[in-house]
Structure 1
Amino acid sequence: MLRLAEADPAQLTSVAAGAARRARARGDTALESVAERAMGVAATHLLDLATATRHLRAAMRLGERAGSPELAAEARIRLAFVASLRGRPQHALDEIESVLPTVHGVLRARAEAQRAAIFNHLGRGDDALAGYRLAVPALRRAGDRLWLQRVLSNRGIVHGYRHEFTAAETDLREAEELCTELGLDLSLAIVRLNLGWVTALRGDVPSALAYLDGAEERFRALGTHQLGWLLADRGELLLSVGLVSEARLAAREAVEQLRRNRRAIGLPEVRLLLARTAGLEGDHDESVREARRAVTEFTRQGRPEWAALARFAVLRSLAMGRTRAPAATLLERVAVDLTAAGWPGAAVEARILAAQLSLRRGRPEQARKQLEQAARPRFRGPALLRARAWHATALLRLSRDNQRGAVTAARAGLRVLDEHRATLGATDLRAYSAQYRLDLAALGLGMALRAGRAEAVLAWAEEGRASHLLMPPVHPPDDPYLAGAMAELRAVMSEINERRRAGQGTGRLGQRQLALERDIRDHRRRQPAVGSPMGARPVGVSTLAGALADAALVEFALLDGELHAVTVARGRPALHRLGAAAPVRDLVDRIPFALRRLGGRADGVNRVAAGRMLRHAAEHLDRMLFGPLSGVIGDRPLVVIPTGFLQALPWSILPSCAGRPVTVSPSATLWHAAADAPGESGHVLAVAGPGLPGARAEAEAVAGIHEAAVLVGAEANAEAVLTGLDGARLAHLAAHGRLHATNPLFSSLHLSDGPLTLYDLERLRRSPQIVVLAACDSGRSIVRAGDELLGLSATFLAHGARTIIGSVVSVPDAETAEPMITLHRLLAAGHSAATALAEAQRATSGELLAASAGFVCIGADVLLQDDLASDGATGTAHAVALLSGSSRRHPSRRAARGV
């Protein structure tokens, strides 16, 4: 019965209840005591702590009635642990202390082990290890494998908190073997949960996710309620790779789970996680509220080590919020407490924050003392700890006017983070984990701006920009599970669309869609990196100057609310301060609205007003962004490297860009890689997705221009399109587009059998050289911290495409065909991609402006291969006819290319 309580507590409850009835009928109080204890252990695992207490108290009484102090002590030992779980660890310790003098041998070892587990709850790691040192040898001698696996699992947790990862994993591996040998399914799931937590602390994110997901599957199968701890561990793991929103959701759910199950000992820990995630998302009110609750609860439970961590969370949230920052001395005292309590990462954070406040208040010596201590762990510990210690080192050297040393330290910190990120095999984890590069990149950028050196500003701007796109692309191996899940997702999405068109409900299907998307996302995140995917280093000015030829490069950089630009023209770099970013952001936000009104069903008055708004915004933006640069860039072709809110700007609406070849790239390094890549031969493909008026005619016209293959109707399915895209020289995709804001890798193009997502595109071995995405928002990406981009165009670039032409706004579908056909005729006539787009946009006016203005040329400005452009006479003739205004208008039906 006791073994079954550790294996399948739900099954044990009915078995033990029957055994207790039979024992009672026979007057076997000893057996009845054991049965009651087993039900108490099972109820503990099921997190019904009130029921566990009732059964364990009954087991104590029965043991005493049976004249067996050993049975009574066994129940009392377990009852003490339940008291600790209910948030009364000091009372639990008193109970164990009262038992210890009365027990001997293996029972004494169990009592020592249980006391050590309570020390775990209190954060008293040294005391816990001392107890385990007494318990483990005695349990081994007695052959008590049931208790031994539990003790090893708990000791592994203590080692994990102390960052003794080898010792932690050794204990947990042995516990895992014992659980397997004994058939303890539930205990095995708990051990694997702990392995996931330790593996996450060590920095192996894919393995940690696999452990946590496996534990969750087993918990649910056994019907237990251990999900509160699991959600907390998963939240910590997600936070370690910058997935702050997901971590916050997990923390909220964990709070609810533990509160509902009255697991009081764990509640303040998950409140603390919720406070941290809320603070990182800028919700400082919730952060302070939850952290203060955690302080109160930790203090009530007699857990000063944890209370120190919660007090730091309060101070950090106050410092980051709108209220007056706390005194640096408060943070210094908390840092001392955190060090003593064994929280090295939090101690480093507290010392850095204290130092920054001291520097701000003119106390450099006080700041340096804190930075010296914060810098110590830069050569040991997990990657995030070492990176923050290198940040402290950079700040320390900078405070001593050692700028060269500060730059070296900042780059060392970035290298640590990049080496850690190279272990991740999922695109979204690579992108989100760049969150932790921001402070170091901003520190370097600030030093370069203060020095006024354009070359250094460009280099540091590149360090903090789209770095995951410079890593070797993710190419998942052939995976039957993933292929099956993607096929099912397409089928579900197709049925959802059919039911919506028929006016029918989609509730059950919508739930299945969300479940499939979650499964696919989690499956990919569990995959380790293949090879050593370190990213390319930022390109230098001299290399850029040689590749630019007669073009000019403009790279925008944002720091502390100020916008700057670096230009490279005629081989010379220059630095320009453009002013406050807020007015620029306000104008950028108006443009999509104005373009939608121009391309929608608005009446004449509203259309005129929209045109006036668009001109006003464009002219003012042009003065802000390019006015100070006009003498440098002249009328050269432009390579633009945007930042933040500028990523979604349709550049052709600005007077300085109108009619000029403009290429946009996530980074100068990525632009150079695309421009420098050799051209490759290949076929041309045109595709038309369903439900898009005029798409078929558009695709067939494009195919006719290039004498190429076309996929329309049922032939335009995901597998056929992927096959056609692989190794293409040019691909034109006219389809409904969807930009998935919450899960960007499910951004998609709608094909005949459902969505073609970014997960599908990662299967491409050779991306098309030039991709034209005639779909809503196809050129726009979700922008994450550090200008990390996730979207269709970013995925094509990461997988080797040299040029993408796509829209950064919603576009009216029917009017899009004409500028797209013009574009392809110009490409076929031998114009480069950016020139062809500029000419096609210049040829459109009036109602067609909204259809063409949103398109941008992303990547590098390249030509089709010579053999493709050999039919240039025909292509040029058509282009001239279109540019002279003699083309036929398409029907005026409008439907946004978005789902």
Structure 2
Amino acid sequence: LVAYADYNIAYLYFLRGEFGRAIQMLRDATASAKKAEDSYQLALCNLDLSEIYLDLNLNTEAGELGRAAHQAFQDLGFGYEGAKALAFAAIAASRTGQAFEAIKLFAQAKDMFVRDQNLLWPSLIDLYEALVLFNEGRLFEAQRLCLAAYEFFRTSPMRGKALLAELLLARIALRMNDLPLAERHCQSTLAELEKLDSPLLQYQANFLMGEIARAGTKTQEAYQSYCRAREAIEHLRGNLRGEELKITFFQNKLEVYENLVDLCLRTPDRFEEAFGYIEQAKSRALMDLLSHSVHVPSVADPGQSELVRSIRNFREELNWYYNLIEREQLRPEERSQERIKQLEQQARAREADLMRALKEATVAEAHQAGMQVASMASLEEIRSAMPADTALVEYFRIQDRTIACVLTRDQLHMTPVTVHSRIQKLLQLLQLQISKFRLNPQYLTTFSEPLLLSTDAHLKNLYQELIMPIRHLLETEHLVFVPHGLLHYVPFHALHDGASYLVDRHSISYAPSASVYAVCQAKQSNASGDALILGVPDAQAPSIRTEVEALSRILPDARLFVGEAATEDVLRTHGRTSRMVHIATHGYFRQDNPMFSSIRLGGSHLSLYDISHLQLPAELIVLSGCATGLNVVTPGDELMGLVRGLLQAGAQSLVLSLWDVHDESTKEFMIDFYTHLQKGLSKAQAMRTTMLGLRERYRHPYHWAPFSLIGKG
């Protein structure tokens, strides 16, 4: 009975979009089912967990649980549930690049649904499989399956799926270079969308119209379609599900911004418009990242306004209705059209309530309610936040090209600088050199000079690609680099022109976007207060203890917590009043879902989403340890790492590592850095002085260049 109660409560949380609570309850129900040896209940838990993990992009776990649930339902003789579990496993396989395996599993699941006399799921699987075939370039097979799915859905109550099928038919026609057919499918979809409020489908249809117009060299029509697509995507908020496929339909939601930037760059008088689109793209990436989270703050959280509670309730109710509509449509028994219509009417009413509430809410209130709102600063706001001796260098990738924007208080320049594929190769070569420091000390001592020469050669090549085309524009004392994509791996401060490193001539800081930079300059932080120092030493990093103990003697009134005492509760309690927070530990990164990236504390791991919901209004937060700053960058998301979570938590400035750091040199770096800060140097000046000083003891950039300053310099 306990297992069934936990399962039913978890199911209710799942319907409301409260994934964190649903996962916890399902895990409890799983433990109870195992204890009671209830194989049916265990299979149900695995099935629901598989679906939740698909929503969270945890595809490996989703696939494993889907297969386990399928096998259990097969043994128990439950055909429909077993087929559904197999379909989830197929979706997980398609997302992890296993196209052949996905197609095989889809075929098996479809056969099971047909035997179970289910009318709807076979067509849904046709649509899923058509998308996999399309991505594999098997266009005629994809077209055949997609057309079959479209013919079914256009006479069914699932209007959104019919429109998705027709959009896929348009994409297939475009790939086949049949522009008239592609345009007809797209126009038909847009006409239907006038009767259906779906920003996601509006975005996809208008973006595709832009692609079709561009392929036909109709530049102005393409621009107008892309603008309509951008307007639609700005209405996509939070983790509201609505009409969408569990297989990604458009891999890169930010491509519309890239295309708009590309079109604007063709005329110099539109550089400011292009810069605005670049900032929108990066703000959108943060919004998408934070909307795919598992944690939803409790309704009972202190300090919530009535408006915040209303937004959360409307959002949860809307997810509830979206899920009920989908489940009603996918029921194996006869569906009630009247019931679906009533649910859709109730969902539309909640959508209107939610939009009204969001119009009244501030960005902070919307974030507190779990709704992510893209925020960006205007060009003038960014300029007004910049000191006179500062130039901001923002990079942006458009397909294989990388452009650089150089912004000062009175000028904006944009120019192409390099190609993505070349930077990718150079970065791989640089990272190969850095990785050699994991080898034994004898090797490093014997080959110290060749290691330095090889590394400097790669840093010179990166300088030629990224800095040389804009070098004449960088005459200021301080430089702020805003990378994009793979460029987040580049240590710009260590790039070499053949005579000196960039940090020899400039103080250097970084930012995830120009808007975030402007926010950090104006952000209120704890101007007074103690320093909070947390250290979690282990066998890989034994010097962490001596590092934090030394820092506690340098920083006045420091609170020091080491090992098991360095807990999340300590960070949560003392972090909100501390001027500086120093955490010496290991970071861990999840490529499949960056929101599960974490840092290790005493007795627990703190995820990126947990971090972003802490209150850490510190003037400076430093993470010293192995790979705490490493970010895996995917095509549609910007800077997937701990930077975003810590800035969201309130930090004004961050210091993070770009690569695994040698323990002893890290200790020396941090002691020097804080000593310079105590002498009154700015954070950027302290970083530069520390690097130059450490280079006298350690010549290789591996030792003196691993840390970057992010935010206010």
Q: Answer whether contact 1:643 1:787 (CA < 8 A) is retained.
A: no
Q: What letter matches 1:272 in structure 2?
A: A
Q: Which of 695, 710, 713 is the equivalent residue of 1:858?
A: 710
Q: For 1:569, give the aligned amino acid.
A: T
Say yes or no: does 1:543 pair with 2:543. Answer: no
**Which residue of the partner structure matches residue 707 of structure 1?**
556
Q: Which has the higher contact order (CA 8 A, sep 6+)?
A: 2
Amino acid at match of 2:279: A
Which residue of the partner structure matches residue 289 of structure 1? 104
Contact 1:770–1:803 under 8 Å retained in 2: yes
3-state DSSP of counterpart to 2:654? strand
- Mapped to 2, the partners of 1:307 and 1:825 lie a distance apart of 67
CA drift at 1:390: 3.2
Matches of 1:396 and 1:232, distance apart in 2: 38
1:346 and 2:198 aligned: no
**Residue aligning to 1:358:** 173
Instruction: Specify the SS of the correspondent of 2:237.
Output: helix
Matches of 1:676 and 1:568, distance apart in 2: 18
Matched, 1:641 2:482: yes
Q: In the aligned structure 1, how far is the partner of 2:74 from the partner of 2:296?
A: 42
How far residue 540 of structure 1 moved from its aligned partner, in angstroms, is 2.5
Residue 857 (structure 1) shift: 0.6
Q: How far apart are residue 585 of structure 1 and its match?
A: 1.8
Among 730, 737, 740, the alignment partner of 2:586 is 737
User: Secondary structure of the equivalent of 2:169?
Assistant: helix
**Distance in 2 between residues matched to 1:318 and 1:377, nearest whole Å:** 26
Q: CA contact under 8 A between 2:230 and 2:256: conserved in structure 1?
A: no
Change (3 A) 1:437 1:828: farther
The one of 636, 654, 660 aligned to 2:495:
654
Kept after mapping to 2: 8 A contact 1:823/1:840: yes
| Superposed displacement of residue 800, structure 1 | 0.7
Match of 2:263 in 1: 450
Letter in 1 for 2:523: A
Larger Rg: 1
**Aligned partner of 1:555: which letter?**
E
Counterpart of 2:47 (choices 232, 235, 243) is 232
Determine helix, strand or coil for the equivalent of 2:661: coil
Distance in 2 of aligned mates of 1:758 and 1:616: 35
1:828 aligns with 2:663: no
Q: Among residues 449, 466, 473, which one is paired with 1:608 in the alignment?
A: 449
1:681 is aligned, of 508, 524, 527, to 527
Q: How does 1:207-356 map to 2 (within 5 A)?
A: 219-220=33-34, 223-321=38-136, 323=138, 326=141, 328=143, 331-356=146-171
Shift of 1:783: 4.5
1:366-418 deviation per Cα after TM superposition (whole angstroms, max 9, x unaligned): 2233223434665787x9x6412432134336756545653453234323421
Distance 1:327 1:349, change over 3 A: same
- Structure that is richer in helix per residue: 1
* 1:321 maps to amino acid: E
Cross-structure match for 2:285:
465
| TM-score, L = length of structure 2 | 0.75
Task: Determine if contact 1:562/1:579 at 8 Å carries over to the other structure.
Answer: yes
Letter in 1 for 2:656: G
1:768 to 1:595, Cα distance in 2 relative to 1, 3 A: same
User: Which of 603, 607, 630 is the matching residue for 1:780?
Assistant: 630
Task: Determine which of 655, 659, 663 is the counterpart of 1:805.
Answer: 655
Cross-structure match for 1:418: 237
Q: Matched residues in 1 for 2:138 and 2:418: separation?
A: 27
Equivalent-residue separation in structure 2 for 1:634 and 1:557 (angstroms)? 21
- Which residue of 393, 413, 422 maps to 1:583? 422
Distance in 2 between the 1:343 and 1:783 partners? 35
1:625 to 466, 469, 473: 466
Which residue matches 1:594? Answer: 433
Alpha-carbon shift at residue 853 of structure 1 (Å): 1.2
Is contact 2:537–2:543 with CA below 8 Å preserved after alignment? Answer: no
> Which residue type is aligned with residue 286 of structure 1?
E
Provide the residue aligned with 2:308 in structure 1.
Answer: none
**Which one-letter code corresponds to 1:591 in the other structure?**
L
Offset of residue 767 of structure 1: 3.1
Structure 2: how far apart are the matches of 1:762 and 1:462?
17
Cα distance 1:292–1:341, how it changes in 2: closer, same or farther (>3 A)?
farther
Cα distance in 1 for residues equivalent to 2:130 and 2:62: 21
Matched position secondary structure for 1:466: helix
Q: 2:608·2:641 contact (CA, 8 Å) conserved in 1?
A: yes
Alignment of 1:531 with 2:344, yes or no, is no
What CA distance in whole angstroms lies between the structure 2 residues aligned with 1:297 and 1:306?
10
- Counterpart amino acid of 2:512? P
User: What SS does the aligned partner of 2:40 have?
Assistant: coil
- Measured on the aligned residues, the alpha-carbon RMSD in Å equals 4.0
3-state secondary structure, aligned to 2:655: strand
What is the CA-CA distance between 1:793 and the residue it aligns to?
A: 3.8
Structure 1 position 554 matched with structure 2 position 374: no
Which amino acid in structure 2 is aligned with residue 708 of structure 1? D
Percent of residue pairs bearing the same amino acid type: 20
| 1:445 partner amino acid | E
1:335, CA displacement in angstroms? 1.6
Matches within 5 A, 1:474-553: 476=297, 530-531=368-369, 533-549=371-387, 550-553=389-392
C-alpha deviation, 1:187, in angstroms: 8.0
Judging changes above 3 Å, is the alpha-carbon distance between structure 1 residues 186 and 770 closer, same or farther for their aligned structure 2 residues?
A: closer
Query: Matched residues in 1 for 2:156 and 2:43: separation?
Result: 24
Tell me the equivalent position of 1:133: none
Which whole-Å CA distance do the structure 2 matches of 1:837 and 1:647 have between them?
18
DSSP-derived class of the 1:681 partner: coil
> CA separation in 1, counterparts of 2:371 and 2:299?
19
What's the CA shift for 1:191? Answer: 6.5
**Closer/same/farther in 2, CA of residues 575 and 292 from structure 1, 3 Å limit:** farther
Question: How far apart are the structure 2 equivalents of 1:270 and 1:475?
Answer: 27
* Counterpart Cα distance in 1 of 2:127 and 2:555: 64
Q: What amino acid sits opposite 1:629 in the alignment?
A: I
**Equivalenced residues, count:** 615
The 2-side partners of 1:325 and 1:636 are apart by 59
Partner of 2:216: none
Following TM superposition, by how much is the alpha carbon of 1:322 offset from its aligned partner in structure 2, in angstroms? Answer: 5.0
Residues 565 and 576, structure 1, Cα contact 8 Å, conserved in 2: yes
Task: Mark the CA change 1:269 to 1:532 in structure 2 (over 3 Å): closer, same or farther.
Answer: closer
Task: Report the 3-state secondary structure (helix = DSSP H, G, I; strand = E; otherwise coil) of the residue aligned with 2:80.
Answer: coil
Instruction: Indicate which of 659, 667, 692 corresponds to 1:817.
Output: 667
> 1:230, 1:716 → 2: CA distance?
36
* Residue deviations 1:198-246 (CA, integer Å, cap 9, x gap): x26xx66567657766765665565241444443344334333444444
SS at match of 1:571: coil
Distance in 2 (alpha carbons) for counterparts of 1:286 and 1:324: 18
Instruction: Tell me the residue number matched to 1:387.
Output: 200
Q: Secondary structure at the match of 1:847?
A: coil
Separation (CA, whole Å) in 1 of partners of 2:566 and 2:62: 36
- The separation in 1 between residues aligned to 2:566 and 2:3, in whole angstroms, is 44
Please say which of residues 629-638 and 393-402 is displaced more in the overlay. 393-402
Distance in 1, matches of 2:481 and 2:209, equals 35
Contact 2:43 2:69 in 1 (8 A): yes
Tell me the secondary structure at the aligned position of residue 819 of structure 1.
helix
Retained in 2: the 8 A contact 1:244–1:281? yes
Following the alignment from structure 2 to structure 1, what is the Cα–Cα distance between the partners of residues 22 and 47? 13
Contact 2:535 2:585 in 1 (8 A): no
Q: Secondary structure at the match of 2:660?
A: coil
Which stretches in structure 2 are left out of the alignment for 5+ residues? 214-219, 302-365
8 Å contact from structure 2 (residues 579, 620) kept in 1: yes
User: Following superposition of structure 1 onto structure 2, how do residues 716-731 of structure 1 map, counting pairs within 5 Å?
Assistant: 717-718=566-567, 719-720=569-570, 722-731=572-581
